[in-house]
Copies of this chain bind each other. A is one copy, B any other.
Amino acid sequence: MKLVHDPIHGHIELDDFAVGLVDTPEFQRLRRITQLGLAFLAYPSARHTRFEHSLGTFYLAKRITEHNPEIEEGAVYAALLHDLGHYPFSHTLEALYPRHEENTKWFIMHGEIGDVIGERYSVREFLKLLKHPLVSGDIDADRMDYLVRDAYYTGVAYGLVDLDRLVRNLLWRDGMLVVGGKGVMAAQNLLLARSMMYPTVYQHHVSKIASAMLITAVELEGIPSDEIRTMDEVDLIARLRASERAEVRELVRAVDDRRLYKRVLYSASDPGVDAVAELRRELEAEFGHLVIVDYPPKPKFEEKNAFVETERGLKRLSEVSPLVRSLVELKDTHWRWGVYARADVRERVERFLRAFFD
């Protein structure tokens, strides 16, 4: 047994099997994958990594399991490994490559960590547990950890959640984690916290612009999936800095120096996929890598599906809490798409956009 100090949960206990998993190169790589990608350009202190978050998720999963002994034991270790496959800068590059969940499976099938798992479980069976409700449910250990952790590291007040109350009131019913009656307020609070972290931190425009620049650099560099999958942030940045293409070197340098592209357009009104595609083509033809169109998918808000145990049976959280209903309705409020340009071409791009939308 080993104890790890953690500012969020105090001390996290790792049993011998967990220590075995953590001590593999695949898991140690998570120390070099920033939890919030480039958000540190907006919140300098947001330097925490997928490593700590994975340990924290394991801790919460274990606590939930303690009072729900029907949950199969392996699910707790799956919680520990649920983010194993993240690319450098976490979600940033998922726009270009398969989702990180695919990569997690790949690591387990091809890495040392698979051997450790194999000592106790069938790897094949274990892979299924990666989608266990403990980490892929609507209200789960994963979300509980990252909200509180991201708030702690950014210093933002909005991520506070009554973890203890929520943990105690997550109940295992028919293969689902449902919220017990005394946990509804805490569950609602988790969703509120998330809805406030979303525009403040997760979709901060500084982070979005820097991410768009990094994505463009990686795309130009043309790194194949089977190369990027095992990279950490040192590998990726070093590769881009040493690129043969001047645009790539320029982009990564600009991200390093926080000399970011400027917002020429930043709008909540959605012109539609086709218009955006056309705009992107035309802008690229005219300006190359000096202009980037950022058209992110609309946020999902799946937590509304969380179930609550009431006197009259299971109900959806959004049925029970009018505030959650509002959150669902409001989920698109903070969505923005944007056009970002290097400072020196800003005005030309402005004129171009005016002409385009005329």
Q: Interface of A with B (CB < 8 Å)? A: 3-8, 10-11, 23-25, 28-29, 31-32, 40, 43-45, 47-49, 51-52, 55, 152-158, 160-162, 164-165, 168, 185-186, 188-189, 192, 195-196, 199-200, 232-235, 237-238, 241, 256-259, 322-323, 325-327, 329-330, 333
CB closest chain-B residue, reference A156: B5
Q: Are A45 and B6 within 8 A (Cβ)?
A: yes
For the complex of A and B, the 8 pairs showing the least CB-CB separation, nearest first, are A7-B155, A238-B238, A326-B326, A47-B47, A157-B162, A25-B257, A10-B164, A234-B237
User: Could you say which residues of chain B place their CB within 8 Å of the CB of A10?
Assistant: 155, 164
Chain B residues near A154 (CB, 8 Å)? 5, 7
Instruction: Contact check, B40 vs A44: say whether CB atoms are below 8 A apart.
Output: no
Q: CA–CA, A232 to B110, complex, Å?
A: 32
A236's nearest neighbour on chain B, judged by CB, is B234
Q: For the complex, what is the distance from the CA of A238 to the CA of B232, rounded to whole Å? A: 11
**In contact, B28 and A257 (Cβ under 8 angstroms):** yes
**Which residues of B lie under 8 Å from residue A188 when comparing CB positions?**
196
Q: Which residues of B contact A43 (CB under 8 A)?
A: 5
> Considering the chains assembled together, what is the distance between the CA atoms of A233 and B238 in angstroms?
10
B189 touches A185 (CB 8 A): no
Closest approach, in angstroms, between the C-beta of A61 and any C-beta of chain B? Answer: 17
B residues near A196, Cβ cutoff 8 Å = 185, 188-189, 192
Q: Pick from A28, A155, A195, A238 the residue with the most CB of B within 10 Å.
A: A155
Also in contact, A157 and B160, with CB within 8 A (given A47-B47, A330-B323): yes
Cα of A165 to Cα of B200 in the assembled complex, Å = 13
Given contacts A25-B256, A158-B162, 13 further A-B contacts (CB under 8 A): A5-B154, A7-B154, A11-B168, A23-B258, A32-B256, A47-B47, A47-B49, A156-B162, A157-B189, A158-B185, A185-B199, A234-B238, A322-B330
- Evaluate contact between B329 and A333: CB separation under 8 angstroms: no
Distance in Å: Cβ of A237 to nearest Cβ of chain B: 5
Q: How far is the CB of A45 from the nearest CB of chain B, in Å? A: 5
Complex contact A333–B322 (CB within 8 A):
yes
Smallest Cβ distance from A352 to chain B, in angstroms? 24
CA distance A201 to B298 in the complex (A): 36
**How many Å from the CB of A197 to the closest CB on chain B?**
10
A51 contacts across to B, CB distance below 8 A: 44
- Complex Cα spacing A3 to B180, Å: 15
